[in-house]
Structure 1
C-alpha cells in the first residue's frame, strides 16, 4: 500500500498516481486550478505553484505581444513598457533587424538599432552631411564634426573661437586678413 496522500482530497492514493510540483495526486484530481478540468498532457503550465491547463494559461496569464497582439507562450521580451515575442521585437527603421540581445534606441515609443537611429534622427554635419554621434561644434546656427569645421579657403581646421564668415561658411583668421 502507498503512503502517498492526494494533494487535492487528502486521501491515500492506492492505484495510479500523478507526481508533479513535489506533490502527489489521484489522476482525476490533477486538474487546472482555473477550469478544474483534469490535465492529461505531459506538459502543463504553473501559476502560484499549481497546475494550469494550456488554454487557461494563455487566456489568464500569458502576456500579449505588443506587435502582433497574439499570446506569448514562450520567451518574452520586456522593453519599452511592453511585452514582445522574440521574433516581433525588431527595429522600426529600414533594416527591420532583430533587436533581441542588443542595445537599442527609443524614439516616440519605437525601438531602433544604432545604425538606423543615427541615419534617421541624429543631427547632420553641415560640412559632410553625415550623422553626428559624438560632440559637435555649433557655429553659424548648424552643427559640425570637429574635423569638418574647416576654413572655406585653406581647408585647415578652425580651432580658435574666432573666425570670419564668407557666404555663410567659416574662414580662419589667417585667410580673412
Structure 2
C-alpha cells in the first residue's frame, strides 16, 4: 500500500485491514478470521467455498446442509447428480433393479418406483410369447388367449407365419388358410 492510500476495510468487521493477510472474495476484502462460513461460523480456509441464499458456506457445511441427498444411500451428492424418478442419485447408485448395472444418463424403464435396464425390464415384466415364451418388446399379435411375436404365430401344419386376419384353429393352435 502506498503512503497516501488508505487501508482496505474488512467486510466482516468494518475495521481497517492494516497489516497481515487479506482475503479477497466476492469482490470484497476480509480479515482472514472474519471470512467465515454462515453455518459453522468457522473461518473459510483456502479458496473453496459455496454461495447459497446470499451467504457463504465452507465445502463441508454446504455438502451436509444444501447438497441434494442420494435416494440410494442418503448421503449428500457433491459431484454429478442424476435426476430420475423424481429424486436425486449418485451416478454409481442409479442402477438397474435387476442386473445392478449403472444406468448413467441413459434410458431406463420404471417398475414400482425402481429403474431397470431394457433387458432386465423385458425379462422380468414384459408379456411372454405364447409360441416361444420369450419377452415381447415390440408389437404383438393377440390371439387364442395369448400374445405372440409376429414370427411365432405360425401355422401348426406348414410352420409359415399366419399373416391373414382370419385363420382356423386346431388343438388351440393356428392354421393358415391354405392348410385349413
Shared fold per TM-score greater than 0.5: yes
Q: Distance in 1 between matches of 2:61 and 2:85?
A: 27
Please name the residue that 2:64 is paired with.
59
Of 50-59 and 74-83, deviating more is 50-59
Aligned-pair Cα RMSD in Å:
1.9
Q: Secondary structure of the residue that 2:102 maps to in structure 1? A: coil
Of 117-126 and 4-13, deviating more is 4-13
Q: What is the CA deviation profile of residues 6-61 of structure 1, one whole-angstrom value per residue up to 9, with x for unaligned ones?
A: 33334443332112233322211110112322112442233135320234223321
Of 97-106 and 14-23, deviating more is 14-23
Pairwise CA distance, 1:106: 0.8
Question: How many residues are aligned here?
Answer: 175
Please name the residue that 1:102 is paired with.
106
Please name the residue that 2:167 is paired with.
163
Q: Distance in 1 between matches of 2:73 and 2:161?
A: 51
Pairwise CA distance, 1:131: 1.5
Corresponding position: 1:9 with 2:8: no
Q: Secondary structure of the residue that 1:147 maps to in structure 2? A: coil
Q: Is the 8 A contact 2:82 2:105 kept in 1?
A: no
Of 17-26 and 121-130, deviating more is 17-26
Please name the residue that 1:125 is paired with.
129
Q: Is the 8 A contact 1:21 1:49 kept in 2?
A: no
Q: Distance in 2 between matches of 1:123 and 1:55?
A: 49
Q: Secondary structure of the residue that 1:56 maps to in structure 2? A: helix
Q: What is the CA deviation profile of residues 74-127 of structure 1, one whole-angstrom value per residue up to 9, with x for unaligned ones?
A: 22211111111111111111x210111211111110001111111111111111
**Which among 66, 81, 84 is matched to residue 79 of structure 1?**
84
Q: Secondary structure of the residue that 2:174 maps to in structure 1? A: strand
Question: What TM-score does the superposition give when structure 1 sets the normalisation length?
Answer: 0.88
Question: What TM-score does the superposition give when structure 2 sets the normalisation length?
Answer: 0.87
Q: What is the CA deviation profile of residues 124-167 of structure 1, one whole-angstrom value per residue up to 9, with x for unaligned ones?
A: 11112222111111001111111111101111111111111111
Is there any run of 5+ residues in structure 2 with no aligned partner, and where? none
Is there any run of 5+ residues in structure 1 with no aligned partner, and where? none
Q: Is the 8 A contact 1:89 1:99 kept in 2?
A: yes
Q: Is the 8 A contact 2:141 2:148 kept in 1?
A: yes
